[in-house]
A and B are shown apart, each in its own frame.
Chain A
Amino acid sequence: MSPDARFHRARLLALSLGGLMALAVAVYMTLGAVGSWSFVLSYRGEKLLTILLVAWAVPVSTVLFHVISRNQILTPSIMGFDALFMLIQTLAVFLIGAATVTQWNPVLVYLGELAAMVAFSTLLFRWLFGRIAQSLELLLLVGIIFGVLFRSVTGLLQRLIDPGEFLVLQDRLFASFSGADPQVLAMSAALVAAASFWAIWRLPAIDAMILGRDGALAVGVPHRRLTAEVFLIVTLLVAASTALVGPITFFGLLVANLAYRLLPGAPLRLTLPLAGLLGALLLVGAQVVLERVLGFTGTVGMVIEFLGGLLFILLLIERAR
């Protein structure tokens, strides 16, 4: 694909998806509004901000994770982030009790979860990548094993727990865009922005990592250090979004692969915004369906996985032809 053709396609995509996005946001903000407009807009606006933040952080972290793992069908949640989040929630309810946990300051809870996730992945990375093996593959494998461990412990605790407590816990474990604390939202935004700027600053070097370790070293990219940096960026993005809304990383894989298909071979400065835009469309669309079609009965994760699954099957069928 020539640079001109790519540029034209990118512009076309930006215009059409941007238009769709504006429409989706307008529909989301106004459809079925009753009562005072200022209340509706500020209430929904806050939710919209949460959605957009996650819609940016998750696809970007997925694409960057693909670059360092040199594999386009992985998602960063393979490192056990989601499982760790669920374990923390379950442990808290199990040990301390739902009544106390729900009273905790959301800012402190958020910071605690964030710290646990970042500490976990940094430890894993330092311990494995620094000492034992030089390979990311081993790191991923150990991440998967930890994920299974976390899930098993979570499952065990959930069986032991009081059924009433379990209902409260279950509610906390489903991803949801509503009810984020404004302070928590602001902190997430700052964190995601910082990680994004870091990534943007290093973007040309990260692009060169497509050449693989040897190829990147041959053109003077410090591959090892950059892998560590990108790993930390991915961790920050995933941890910020998971601590904000809950486990919801699946759609990142979908929109990343959609972006690769729409703009094949494009540099990251085009792929990342495209993936983010697709993610935002999907999430806003899913939230509209949840609120206006399902009338809040269900979870947004369910809608995303349903819509995403359909899209995935379409992708497969289209590829098979």
Chain B
Amino acid sequence: MIRVENLGKTYAGDWVVDVEALELPRGGLTAIIGPNGAGKSTLLSMISRLQAPDRGHVTLDGQDILRIKGDVLARQLTVLRQDNAMTARLTVADLVAFGRYPYSKGRLTEADRAEIERALALVDIVPYRHRFLDELSGGQRQRAFIAMVLAQDTEYALFDEPLNSLDIRHAVSVMHLLRRAAEDLGKTVVTVLHDLNFAARHADRIIAMKNGRLQVVGRPDEVIRPAILRDLYGLDLDVTERQGKPLVDVFG
């Protein structure tokens, strides 16, 4: 279980993240939503030790994550940021192999290779395995990065806006992948999402943030409500129900 205690990050005197307490229990898919500048990405990068907090701490099963050794933590928790620009060329298979680094330290064993194969198959990118990343479409590249995360085989997988700049087809397929990682592979998936409807349809839990603070945490039907959305975005949005989940008319 990941526990956030009194966590804060400040830029020039402003607290961009100011979270009293937050618990991320094992299992399920949690979406973090909120307007731009709400501190979603900053919270995610502090949970995944990419940024050090200015106040408070994040613990994993009771241990401060900044005190856990890098490779030990990398076998339990990993993160995928939005900007994954590469300067050097890399093939899909080589990228996914880096997911096994915390285990193999660069010397792949048979078990590592099996994990890589499994991850490539899961994201359905086997035919492109020997392609270079710069020869892939945006959706394929995103799937390749997700395969790396899956190959890392961590209990916790954190994503920062994984649907960014994907068309509808690829966005749906990536969302289904995250869903499968949570359901079939039993991972704890936490993802920052901009699209309210993806969060409403696929998340088990939604964390709504504004101005660095948690507004509401709960099931989609508890969070995706007109009153809460008005508070978050300052817009009156119509919420209906479809397939037993909330559906937001986001077009104003």
Contact = CB atoms under 8 A, between A and B. Distances in A.
Interface of A: 1-3, 5, 66-67, 70-72, 203-205, 207-208, 210-215, 217-222, 260, 264-265, 267
Given A1-B130, A218-B48, A72 B70 contact: no
Given A218-B80, A222-B70, A265 B102 contact: no
B227 interface: no
The CB with the most chain B CB atoms within 10 A, among A66, A212, A219, is that of A219
Interface stretch (B10-18, B30-38, B93-101): B93-101
A5 B132 CA distance: 14
Contacts of A219: 74, 78, 98-99, 101-102, 152
A203 B105 CA distance: 10
Given A1-B130, A218-B80, A265-B94, A204 B107 contact: yes
A2 B86 CA distance: 19
B79 A218 contact: yes
A220 B49 CA distance: 10
B245 interface: no
Contacts of A203: 106
A207 to B, nearest CB: 6
Q: Is the interface of A mostly helix, strand, loop or mixed?
A: helix
A112 to B, nearest CB: 37
B101 A208 contact: yes
The CB with the most chain A CB atoms within 10 A, among B79, B84, B88, B107, is that of B88
A214 B106 contact: no
Contact of B106 (A66, A70, A204, A213): A204
5 contacts: A214-B50, A218-B79, A219-B98, A220-B102, A260-B89
Contacts of A72: 87-88
Nearest to A211: B98
Contacts of B74: 218-220
Nearest to B160: A214
Nearest to B72: A220
Given A2-B129, A220-B73, A264-B89, 11 more contacts: A67-B88, A71-B87, A72-B88, A205-B105, A208-B106, A214-B81, A215-B84, A217-B50, A220-B101, A265-B88, A265-B94
Nearest to B94: A265
Given A214-B50, A264-B132, A207 B106 contact: yes
B223 to A, nearest CB: 28
Contact of B130 (A2, A66, A208): A2
Contacts of B98: 208, 211, 215, 219
B126 to A, nearest CB: 12
Contacts of B249: none
A85 B173 CA distance: 57
Interface string B61-76: 0000000011111110
Nearest to A67: B88
B93 A3 contact: yes
B90 interface: yes
Contacts of A5: 130
Interface in B25-55: 45, 48-50
A210 B88 contact: yes
B129 to A, nearest CB: 8
B211 interface: no
B82 to A, nearest CB: 10
A66 B88 CA distance: 9
B87 A217 contact: no
Nearest to A4: B130
Interface string B178-189: 000000000000
Interface string B206-245: 0000000000000000000000000000000000000000
Nearest to B77: A218
B164 interface: no
Nearest to A214: B81
Contacts of A204: 101, 105-107
A205 B102 contact: no
B49 to A, nearest CB: 7
Nearest to B107: A204
A260 B84 contact: no
Contacts of B50: 213-214, 217-218
B197 interface: no
Contact of A265 (B75, B91, B106): B91
Contacts of A264: 89, 132
